[in-house]
Amino acid sequence: MGGLLLDPAEALPDDVVLSWEGHEVLAVRLPHLADSLDRILTDLERRHGAPLARLDRKTKQSIVRNLETRGAFTLRHGVEKVAAALGVSRFTVYNYLNSQDERRAMERGEQR
């Protein structure tokens, strides 16, 4: 996730302070969500063993599904960042997302 460990005395109001047996022992400063998306994309490249742009279409679609589940597209510029990493256009990412919505609707027996 990419948090930063701090002495509790350095904690800011938004940091998470951890206590052990009633004593503050550690503070954690969580990264901004946009930084987390960069880390997620880097981790995906590591797991796939290649730049995301080199992956086949089916794998890219799977990555988009996974990222949608993790909330990546609720971030400002999330679609643009993912599109750049995958080596596709924003339009293609939206198509992947729309095809997922259509597939889910069909599974539920809905007509679109």
3 or 105, which is more confident? 3
pLDDT at 101 over 80: no
Determine the average pLDDT of the residues in 54-77. Answer: 92
Residue 1's pLDDT band (cuts 50, 70, 90): low
User: Which of residues 92 and 1 earns the better pLDDT score?
Assistant: 92
Mean pLDDT of the chain: 88
Q: Where are the alpha helices (DSSP H) in 4-111?
A: 33-48, 57-69, 78-86, 90-107
* Cα dist from 84 to 8, 13, 39, 44, 81, whole Å: 38, 35, 15, 14, 5
- Asked whether the predicted pLDDT for residue 12 surpasses 80, the reply is yes
C-beta neighbour count of 6 within 10 angstroms: 16
